[in-house]
Amino acid sequence: MRIIGGQHRGLTLAGVGRGDADAHLRPTPDRVREALFNVLAGHGLPQGARVLDLFAGTGALGLEALSRGARHASFVDSGRVAQRLIRDNLARARRTDDATVLTCAADRLPAAAAPCALVFLDPPYGKGLGAPALDRAQAQGWIAPGALVVWEEAGPQEPPAGFALLDNRRYGDTHLTLLEAP
């Protein structure tokens, strides 16, 4: 796995390895990330944006955003293996100064210091964890008005109350649902 574009293009990220059986680490494939960031570029993102990466796993989505001009990324994952991978990848990219790693569950976020214009939501497939995490992020001030939310799941997702559906895209067994925050 590597960074696809921007300042860190070609940087090889830490391998998941055997991982933790309970971690459900499933990094977004390079080709899906490339397609996603082409779509985001059409929305003027991630340039200059604050980014929230929920269920961050390896941190590949948030790191890709930083590589492409995001000004700050907050990575959220409660798994020990994921936290180690995120920190390793931030160190590889030398991005520890413009990134924060939160070691809590995505549905237990503390209050935000500043809202984010771009949110990645990549919960373990089929576990019903995405909507509660999105609700918590919004309640705690992590999601800016009009923010773009990218929800990665096994199937298209229905927008929670107040969120507008912008697009659904399928890449193999990965579905990306793009939402606009109220």
| CA 39-12-152 angle, 5° bins | 35
Token pair of 60 as six digits: 């590949």
Residue 17's pLDDT band, with cuts at 50, 70 and 90, is low
Report pLDDT digits (tens) over 73-121: 999 999 998 999 999 999 999 999 999 999 999 999 999 999 999 999 9
Q: Is the pLDDT of residue 126 over 80?
A: yes
Please enumerate in sequence order all residues whose Cβ is within 8 A of that of 162, keeping only pairs 6 or more positions apart, or say none.
181, 182
pLDDT digits (tens, 9 = 90+) for 53-81: 999 999 999 999 999 999 999 999 999 98
Over 70: is that where the pLDDT of 18 sits? no
**Other CB atoms closer than 10 Å to residue 52's CB: what's the count?**
31
**Mean of pLDDT over the chain:** 93
The model carries a pTM of: 0.94
In the chain the domains, ranked by start, together with CATH numbers, are 52-180 (3.40.50.150)
> Distance of alpha carbon 24 from its chain centroid, rounded?
15
Residue 19 pLDDT > 50, yes or no? no
